[in-house]
Amino acid sequence: ISNQFTGYFKYLLSRGFTEGIYLLLLFLAVDLLKFHYLTSAMVIQIGTAVLGYFIAVKWIWKKGSEVVKELTEEEMDNERAY
């Protein structure tokens, strides 16, 4: 992430997206499919947490993980030189 504000904005967008998905799925499960609200909430919360994690890995943390990988490769090259 080149800028902290950009990263935070991306985080807020991803959280808003997953919360919207959560509310939509909860409505569908409870009102339309007639599942129990607590069971539905637990299952859907776990699913949207996993979705939010994958969004963060692919979109928010993308550049950071590439930098870590490059540093690790440089460190390995430096160790081989000694």
Percent helix / strand / coil, the chain, rounded to 5: 90, 0, 10
> Which residue ranges of the chain lie beneath pLDDT 70?
1-2, 63-82
Q: What is the pLDDT of residues 40-60, one digit of tens each?
A: 999 999 999 999 999 988 988
> ∠ CA 23-15-45 to the nearest 5 degrees?
45
pTM of the predicted model, to two decimals?
Answer: 0.69
CA pair distance 63, 41, nearest whole angstrom? 33
